[in-house]
């Protein structure tokens, strides 16, 4: 298991401090990050929380997934590694 969690369906006004405070009742939060839209600067409604160990991460999932947080029912599960994409190299002409 891992200790990095995906947290979805967050209220758009949630701060990283709010996340840290909420999840710290289940253990030590080592990081909390809300994802923002690059163009608008507004929250995308999801983020990531990292707990100090797997047992704490499991406790968070069991106790918060599907529960209400700031008026919204959040989704909490293990974060999946983003698959790496192979990018073509070169000057924009493709592969000759």
What are the domain boundaries of the chain?
4-78
15-74 residue pLDDT tens: 999 999 999 999 999 999 999 999 999 999 999 999 999 999 999 999 999 999 999 999
Q: What are phi and psi of 9, to 5 degrees?
A: 65, 35
The CATH homologous superfamily of the domain defined by 4-78: RRM (RNA recognition motif) domain (3.30.70.330)
pLDDT band at 6 (very low <50, low <70, confident <90, very high): very high
pLDDT at 20: 96
The rounded distance, in Å, linking the Cα atoms of 49 and 42 is 19
**CB distance 74 to 8 below 8 Å:** yes
Which has the higher per-residue pLDDT, 93 or 15? 15
pTM: 0.82
pLDDT at 85: 72
């Amino acid at each position: 298991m891992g200790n990095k969690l995906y947290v979805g369906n967050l209220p758009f006004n949630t701060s990283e401090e709010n996340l840290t405070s909420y999840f710290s009742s289940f253990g030590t939060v080592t990081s909390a990050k809300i994802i923002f839209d690059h163009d608008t600067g507004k929250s995308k409604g999801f983020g990531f929380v990292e707990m100090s160990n797997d047992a704490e991460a499991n406790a968070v999932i069991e106790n918060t997934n599907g529960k209400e947080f700031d008026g919204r029912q959040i989704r909490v599960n293990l974060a999946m590694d983003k698959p790496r994409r192979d990018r073509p190299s070169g000057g924009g002409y493709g592969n000759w």
